[in-house]
Amino acid sequence: MFKKLLIANRGEIALRVIRACHEMGVRTVAVYSEADVRAPHVREADEAVLIGPPLSSESYLRGDRIIEAAKLTGAEAIHPGYGFLSEQEWFARAVREAGIVWIGPPAAAIAAMGSKTAARKLAVANGVPVVPGTTEPLANAKEAERVAKKFGYPILLKAAAGGGGKGMRVVSAPKALAAALEAARREAKGAFGDDAVYLEKFVDRSRHVEIQILADTHGTVLSLGERECSVQRRHQKMIEEAPSVAVTPALRKKMGETAVRAARAAGYVNAGTCEFLLDQSGEFYFLEMNTRLQVEHPVTELVTGIDLVQWQLRVAAGERLPFKQEEISPRGWAIECRITSEDASNNFLPSTGRIEHLHLPSGPGVRWDGGVESGSEIGLYYDPMLAKLIVWGADREQAITRMRRALVDLIIQGVETSRDFHVRVMDDEEFRRGDIDIQWLERRLNSILERRPAEESVRVAAIAGAMLAERDRSARAVSGTAATTVPTAASADGTGDSWQQAARLEGLRS
């Protein structure tokens, strides 16, 4: 195993990797920008190297400086986390050429999956089902009209260089096609510097189900089962779970084998994910492969018992995967809520400020993968995801109940967060039935935000908790005793009239 590893990332994922390293006896090197001088990942690592100003383009995206930092500190391997440089073929190559181990797939596998049209061709050639459509970019509007007619409307225009939803346009009728093609081209050119666009039939009301794979350098490629990621807004996932209510053991086997086939075709090694659309009739279609560790990897870890980050390190060091495919099946249910500094009641507007108070939920089956602490400054330089709250339960209902409890126990003061939004989703009857698809949140958002499900009590309990903690501290500081007369969560739990609650709330505020 490596003696020292550099983490080319920040926030919760940097901490996640640092923890895995320390459990494995690997020393860690953090890199950080001037905005992250006080960040937890810098403190938790054994060493840290300043790589530039706050702007990502001048720090976390500076592959040259990161490789320099690895050489300087004698790190033998680099883990890229997700985002930033994690799927940059050139960086994977540069790391290897510097004699450093890349904790990720070969650069050629990143390249093979990087172009959506190339990935589609590879899939078709290997018997992996894709959505009906073209595998070549469209020459012009006339050709687009001809093939669209062949596949039938609605169709979806996609950027060949794309991924993650950029440069996509749904077209419902021929008359809208030419303009949509021009718009998709312009967006693709702006986002990827490549205006190649192709088309697929639009799969309506489908779920986003992805398969986690893990591959070693000795030819073993395993499926670790699916994650259901349909609860998303504007291509940002908000809640993920494993397994999926829509996946039977037979379908899991079939999708798993398909994902393994796609991975083998790309010469894949390390952890990766095949994204699929699963339609209402149970047909599935390969969309793309994410050639990195994903944000939502913990739900797979909780239901399989396999530590993905530790295995990423081991397979990168040449170890064999000791598992048999037949031994891997999901146990229980895991759900993840992304806690972001966004105000859901204000169109998910990013919120900035200082986290004045942070109280973490704990107890059975609760995992917190966070990147912030009390005192953290939340700015606009980086992604608004502060942390992930992940729970495990024996079944889906227990997992939802536990997630709701953990969310209510969570207190973040100082910035607006997505916490209350998540509580409301946990209370939503359609969500509780598992009756979700990729357009579900868009359709349901207003009714989720309008509902007030014992919401007042949630807030009173949270503020009471924070006050309690503050008073305990100051009481101890002043007289050595803890005077605690603030209402507890139980006494504030919706039993009084609403005016009583409001009064309590006001009292607590002042």
The residues of the shown chain that bind ligand MV4, judged by CB under 6 A, are 131, 156, 164-165, 200-203, 206, 208, 232, 235, 275, 277, 287-288, 438
State in angstroms the smallest separation of the CB of 129 from ligand MV4. Answer: 12
CB nearer to ligand MV4: give 17 or 130: 130
SS3 208: strand
State in angstroms the smallest separation of the CB of 446 from ligand MV4. Answer: 18
d(CA 403, CA 457): 17
SS3 277: strand
State in angstroms the smallest separation of the CB of 402 from ligand MV4. Answer: 25
| CB atoms near residue 500 (< 10 Å) | 12
If 0-12 CB within 10 Å is exposed, 13-18 middle and 19+ buried, where does residue 121 land?
middle
Tokens 């005192």 sit on residue: 375
Active site members:
292
CB nearer to ligand MV4: give 129 or 165: 165
CB nearer to ligand MV4: give 212 or 376: 212
Partner residues linked to 231 by β-bridges? 239
- Asked if 1 and 25 count as a contact pair (C-beta separation under 8 A), the reply is yes
State in angstroms the smallest separation of the CB of 47 from ligand MV4. Answer: 37
CB nearer to ligand MV4: give 172 or 374: 172
Partner residues linked to 391 by β-bridges? 335, 366
Polymer length of the chain: 510
- Asked if 428 and 444 count as a contact pair (C-beta separation under 8 A), the reply is yes
- Of 277, 290, 291, 281, the closest CA to residue 133 belongs to 277
Residue nearest to ligand MV4 (CB): 208
- Asked if 200 and 133 count as a contact pair (C-beta separation under 8 A), the reply is yes
State in angstroms the smallest separation of the CB of 216 from ligand MV4. Answer: 27
- Asked if 191 and 168 count as a contact pair (C-beta separation under 8 A), the reply is no
Instruction: Verify cis geometry, omega within 30 degrees of 0, for the bond prior to 54.
Output: no
State in angstroms the smallest separation of the CB of 175 from ligand MV4. Answer: 21
In terms of C-beta distances under 8 Å and separation of at least 24 residues, what long-range contacts does 256-259 make, across chains too?
Answer: 256/211, 256/223, 256/225, 256/226, 256/325, 257/223, 258/128, 258/129, 258/211, 258/284, 258/286, 259/211, 259/213, 259/223
d(CA 140, CA 229): 34
What is the DSSP secondary structure assignment for residue 371, as one 8-state letter?
A: S
CB nearer to ligand MV4: give 284 or 333: 284
CB nearer to ligand MV4: give 117 or 206: 206
State in angstroms the smallest separation of the CB of 156 from ligand MV4. Answer: 5
What is the DSSP secondary structure assignment for residue 347, as one 8-state letter?
A: T
CB nearer to ligand MV4: give 232 or 417: 232
State in angstroms the smallest separation of the CB of 287 from ligand MV4. Answer: 5
Question: What secondary structure does DSSP assign to 146-184, as a single string?
Answer: HHHHHH-SSEEEEETT--TTTT-EEE-SGGGHHHHHHHH
Tokens 């807030």 sit on residue: 459
- Asked if 260 and 286 count as a contact pair (C-beta separation under 8 A), the reply is no
CB nearer to ligand MV4: give 122 or 461: 122
CB nearer to ligand MV4: give 65 or 207: 207
State in angstroms the smallest separation of the CB of 125 from ligand MV4. Answer: 19
Listed in sequence order, the residues at least 6 apart from 344 whose beta carbon sits closer than 8 Å to its beta carbon are: 418, 420, 421, 449
| CB atoms near residue 149 (< 10 Å) | 12
